[in-house]
């Protein structure tokens, strides 16, 4: 390992151990790396940061963040819960199924795992507690189910992955690739919920008359129509993914403020502030990671790692298992956005040499990092879900293990059966 990379890696790890925010870890490490290369560090880092976020596609991120906030506060999540209750609430362990299905539906609209934990968990966990479900089980269901929103489009992390590939993967294509894997993860979580609910004799949910079911369905239609508006508009060529995100904001605003009237005009400045803060965090991560990635690329780190892995074994199965294990470990210690931006340029050349399509690898990477959101010590969804449930990480670890097993089994299926990810993009003409 040459001096610039040694300086970059050591400084990054030391700063991480000192609990410095990840964006600053990457930025400071990049400055030190440029200094070790003999380059004018501050101007070089500033230049690469500016170039890194100078992308029209990235405008979709603040729009989707804002639309997610409008949905969470605008009563859309509750109407989706009511509809999910009609679909799955009548069975043994029904509220667990409602939780999973609602997270999938909400994720398909908001594209945010933390928003799903907050919006869905804030309502479902207390209700499940009241109905006799174990508190730690309730937290486990919500924490893991919330990650399906990162696979079922629209998804901000998919936009980041598209950027990290240098435009090799289009946003629309990666959106389509996520549908079947996301649904498969949800089915796996439903199966685990069913087994645990039957074993612990968790009660049935509500049973609705035909009239009540129709009413709840009709109330949920405006919310669910957003899925067809955004994705359908992209597929039909009405607008680009970035323009679709702006349409999502407009439609969410009309639903939340005009139709459902759960958000007042006086609430909008606070929502805009929240969206701005979240966007600034994401964009700072993107900018500093681009500067750090430039140092790695200039020192040929991706090529060296690719050569080292290929020299270790020529087995495609062994290399994919190794990369999965490394990404699972990365997900435990790093948030999704910097992980995608740092490790995509490193691992993508390796898997492409193995004949793995960049779309397929994107889904593999996102699925691995979704599991990381549910694991200590950095798992955002884990800590947020435990806080909402009023329990601790230590108590939740054992109940959440069966859900991890389901997610890892689904990950392996998607890793070694590429058709799960590739079928829809190929069918729709995104991949030849």
In 144-153, which positions are buried (b, 16+ CB within 10 angstroms) versus exposed (e)? bbbbbbbbbb
Mean pLDDT, range 75-86, rounded to an integer: 78
If pLDDT is split at 50, 70 and 90, which confidence band does 204 have? low
Tell whether the model's pLDDT for residue 258 goes beyond 80.
Answer: yes
Please give the tally of structural domains in the chain: 1
If pLDDT is split at 50, 70 and 90, which confidence band does 1 have? low
Measuring CA to CA, how many Å separate 146 from each of 61, 62, 333? 19, 20, 19
DSSP labels, 256-311: IIIIS--S-GGGHHHHHHHHHHHHHHHHHHHHHHHHHHHHHHHTTHHHHHHHHHHH
Q: Of 322 and 207, which is predicted with more confidence?
A: 322
Expressed as residue numbers, the domain containing 223 is 53-263+299-427
Does some domain include residue 185?
yes
Q: Helix H segments across 354-430?
A: 358-372, 380-389, 393-416, 419-427
Judged by DSSP in three states, 93 sits in coil
**Structure-token pair, residue 273:** 């502030």
C-alpha–C-alpha distance, residues 362 and 414, integer Å: 11
Mean pLDDT, range 384-391, rounded to an integer: 86
Contact 173, 359 (CB under 8 A): yes
Does some domain include residue 375?
yes
| Dihedral sign of CA atoms 369, 370, 376, 378 in order | positive
Mean pLDDT, range 14-27, rounded to an integer: 85
- pLDDT for 206 equals 64
Does some domain include residue 114?
yes
Q: Determine phi and psi for 431, rounding to 5 degrees.
A: -130, 130
Tell whether the model's pLDDT for residue 410 goes beyond 90.
Answer: yes
Tell whether the model's pLDDT for residue 352 goes beyond 80.
Answer: yes
Tell whether the model's pLDDT for residue 205 goes beyond 70.
Answer: no
In the chain, % of residues over pLDDT 70: 97
In the chain, % of residues over pLDDT 90: 25
User: What pTM was estimated for this model as a whole?
Assistant: 0.84
Contact 319, 307 (CB under 8 A): no
If pLDDT is split at 50, 70 and 90, which confidence band does 366 have? very high
Tell whether the model's pLDDT for residue 378 goes beyond 80.
Answer: no
C-alpha–C-alpha distance, residues 162 and 363, integer Å: 11
Min mean pLDDT across 79-83, 166-170, 360-364 is at 79-83
Tens digits of per-residue pLDDT, 315-335?
889 999 999 999 998 888 777
Does some domain include residue 41?
no
296-303's contacts with Cβ under 8 Å and 24+ in sequence apart are 296/5, 296/8, 296/342, 296/345, 296/346, 297/345, 298/37, 299/2, 299/4, 299/5, 299/37, 301/5, 301/346, 302/345, 302/346, 302/348, 302/349, 303/349
Tens digits of per-residue pLDDT, 281-297?
888 888 888 888 788 87
Measuring CA to CA, how many Å separate 136 from each of 132, 348, 388, 396? 12, 38, 11, 5
- pLDDT for 88 equals 67
Does some domain include residue 111?
yes
Min mean pLDDT across 17-31, 38-52, 214-228 is at 38-52
Tell whether the model's pLDDT for residue 74 goes beyond 70.
Answer: yes
C-alpha–C-alpha distance, residues 286 and 215, integer Å: 44
Measuring CA to CA, how many Å separate 203 from each of 192, 198, 200, 208? 16, 9, 9, 16
Does some domain include residue 271?
no
- pLDDT for 415 equals 96
Does some domain include residue 20?
no
Contact 344, 365 (CB under 8 A): yes
If phi > 0 it is left, if psi is from -120 to 50 it is alpha, else beta; for residue 134 that is: beta
Min mean pLDDT across 76-80, 99-103, 202-206, 248-252 is at 202-206
Radius of gyration (Cα) for the chain, nearest Å? 22
Tell whether the model's pLDDT for residue 52 goes beyond 90.
Answer: no
Does some domain include residue 1?
no
- pLDDT for 399 equals 93
Mean pLDDT, range 371-399, rounded to an integer: 86
Asked if residue 154 has a cis previous peptide bond (ω within 30° of 0), the answer is yes
Contact 64, 56 (CB under 8 A): no
Tens digits of per-residue pLDDT, 123-171?
788 878 877 889 999 999 999 999 998 898 888 899 889 988 887 888 8
If pLDDT is split at 50, 70 and 90, which confidence band does 406 have? very high
């Amino acid at each position: 390992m040459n001096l610039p990379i040694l300086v970059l890696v050591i400084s990054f790890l030391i700063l991480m151990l000192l609990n410095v925010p990840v964006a600053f870890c990457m930025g400071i490490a990049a400055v030190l790396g440029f200094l070790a290369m003999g380059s004018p560090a501050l101007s070089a880092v500033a230049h690469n940061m500016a170039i890194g976020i100078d992308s029209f596609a990235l405008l979709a991120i603040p729009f989707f963040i804002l639309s997610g906030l409008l949905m969470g506060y605008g009563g859309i999540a509750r109407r989706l819960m009511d509809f999910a209750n009609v679909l799955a609430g009548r069975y043994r362990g029904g509220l667990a199924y409602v939780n999973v299905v609602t997270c999938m539906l909400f994720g398909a609209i908001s594209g945010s795992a933390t928003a799903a934990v907050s919006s869905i968990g804030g309502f479902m966990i207390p209700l499940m507690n009241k109905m006799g479900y174990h508190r730690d089980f309730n937290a486990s269901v919500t924490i893991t189910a919330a990650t399906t929103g990162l696979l079922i489009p629209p998804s901000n992390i998919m936009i980041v992955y598209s950027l990290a590939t240098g435009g090799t993967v289009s946003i629309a294509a990666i959106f389509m690739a996520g549908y079947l894997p996301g649904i498969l993860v949800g089915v796996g979580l439903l199966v685990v919920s069913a087994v645990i609910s039957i074993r612990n004799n968790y009660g049935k949910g509500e049973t609705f008359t035909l009239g009540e079911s129709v009413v709840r369905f009709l109330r949920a239609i405006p919310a669910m129509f957003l899925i067809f508006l955004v994705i359908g508009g992209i597929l039909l060529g009405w607008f680009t993914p970035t323009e679709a995100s702006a349409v999502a904001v407009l439609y969410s605003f009309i639903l939340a403020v005009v139709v459902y009237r759960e958000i007042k005009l006086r609430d909008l400045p606070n929502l805009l502030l929240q969206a701005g803060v979240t966007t600034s965090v994401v964009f700072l991560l993107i900018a500093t990671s681009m500067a750090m990635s430039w140092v790695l690329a200039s020192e040929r780190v991706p090529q060296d790692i690719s050569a080292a892995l290929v020299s270790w074994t020529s087995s495609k199965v062994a290399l994919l298992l190794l990369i999965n294990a490394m990404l699972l470990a990365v997900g435990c210690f790093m948030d999704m956005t910097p992980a995608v931006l740092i490790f995509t340029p490193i691992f993508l050349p390796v898997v492409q040499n193995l004949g793995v399509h960049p779309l397929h690898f994107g889904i593999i990477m996102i699925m691995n990092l979704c599991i990381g959101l549910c694991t200590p010590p950095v798992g955002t969804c884990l800590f947020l879900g435990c806080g909402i449930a009023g329990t601790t990480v230590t108590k939740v670890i054992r109940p959440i293990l069966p859900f991890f097993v389901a997610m890892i089994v689904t990950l392996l299926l998607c890793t070694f059966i590429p058709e799960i990810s590739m079928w829809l993009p190929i069918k729709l003409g995104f991949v030849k």
